[in-house]
Structures are given as structure tokens and as C-alpha cells.
Structure 1
Amino acid sequence: MEVIRSKEFKAKTAWGAKNIANMNGITTRLHWTDKPYKWHVNDGEEVFVVLDGVVEMRFMEEEQEKVTILNVGDIFYASVGTEHVAHPNGEARILVIEKEGSV
């Protein structure tokens, strides 16, 4: 049993993470960042939940870059093959659920 106070979590570097669970190859991790990630495509599906802060999520759809703003409580679902990149506006804490070993 563990209680995690997500607003208190801060990693040493951008996109540092606290591993919360690994359930049959699906990981749940808490990330802290103040810098953009990189464009990537995951090996499987990804659920991206903003717990603190604001994140600009950029993604490719029909060969065009699209942008959506994610606020606290918003969830971004990346299906298999969705190319995307997260750009936080300041500090953000994000819960990511994805296949173990994904980028």
C-alpha cells in the first residue's frame, strides 16, 4: 500500500518518473517535467493524464500537426501509431499508462 501525493513529486530532470505499478507489462508512472518531450510513437496505446499544470499536446493526424491544450484532469489517449509530443507550460505532473518499455 502506498499513498502518492502527486503535487509533491518533483524529479531531478525533466520527464523523470516515479514507477507506480507494472501490471502484466502495462506500466503506470508519475512524471514531472518543465520541458517538452520529443516527437515519438509508442509501441502500444498510451493514456496520458494531466494531474498538475497545463500541457500543450501536439499530434499528427492525416499528415497534419494538430494541437490541443490539456488542463488538470484532462486525458489524452494515443492509439497505436499516434505520433505525438507533449509541451508543458511551466511545471507539470503527468500520469502515464503504457506498455512497458515504450518511449
Structure 2
Amino acid sequence: MRKITAKEFTGSQAWEALPIEKFSGQTTVRLHWTDQPYKWHVNDGPEVFVVLDGVVNMHTRSDGKEGMTRLEPGDIFHAETGDEHVAHPQGVARILVVEVAGSV
């Protein structure tokens, strides 16, 4: 057993991850630290993105249209397989991500 305090986790580079669990070798749970945007991407499976600390603007593309959702601590973003998105933290953010192992 272990306790993880999200606010205490700091990475040395953007999107550094602290692995927490890997279920049946297929699904990972990781705590990410970042202060920089990621890249536009489509995951290999569904993704659950939980903001634990900080603010993240999640940009999405669907049917040629772009949108943006502001995520604050406690907010959850769910991307289904094929959903194109990119996270833009507003300063430092810590995010819990549950996704298919090896996904982008």
C-alpha cells in the first residue's frame, strides 16, 4: 500500500509520469505533471483524464470543428477511441490519466 499526494509530485520535464498501476497489462493509471501543452493526438482506446491540481484547457476536434473545455481540479474529461484532443495546462497541472497501455 502507498499514499500518493498529487501536489507533491513534480516532474523534471513536461508530461513526466508517475506509474501507479497497470491492470492486466492493458490499462495504465499514471499521475502526470506538466507545465506545457501536449500534442494533438488520438488515443488507441478510451482515456479518462482527471485534473487533480491546476487548470487545463482541453482542445478538441470533431467533424472539422474545434472546441475547448476548461478543466479545474475535480473535473474529468473522457475521450473515446478516435477523439482528437490536446491538453493545454494553464501553469503547472497534475493530472491522473487512465488509458490503454502504450497509448499516445
TM-score, length-normalised on structure 1?
0.99
Structure 1 residue 82: Cα displacement: 0.2
In structure 1, C-alpha distance between the alignment counterparts of 2:30 and 2:17, rounded to whole Å:
6
Q: Structure 2: which amino acid aligns with 1:12?
A: S
Correspondence for 1:43: 44
Q: Distance in 1 between the 2:27 and 2:64 partners?
A: 29
Task: Identify unmatched segments of 5+ residues in structure 2.
Answer: none
**RMSD of the TM alignment (CA)?**
0.5
**Equivalent residue for 1:89?**
90
Q: Partner letter of residue 32 of structure 2?
A: H
Unmatched runs of 5 consecutive residues or more in structure 1: none
Q: Distance in 2 between matches of 1:5 and 1:68?
A: 26
Normalising by structure 2, report the TM-score.
0.98
Runs of 4+ in structure 1 displaced over 2 angstroms? none
Deviates more, 1:15-24 or 1:59-68: 59-68
C-alpha displacement of 1:37: 0.2
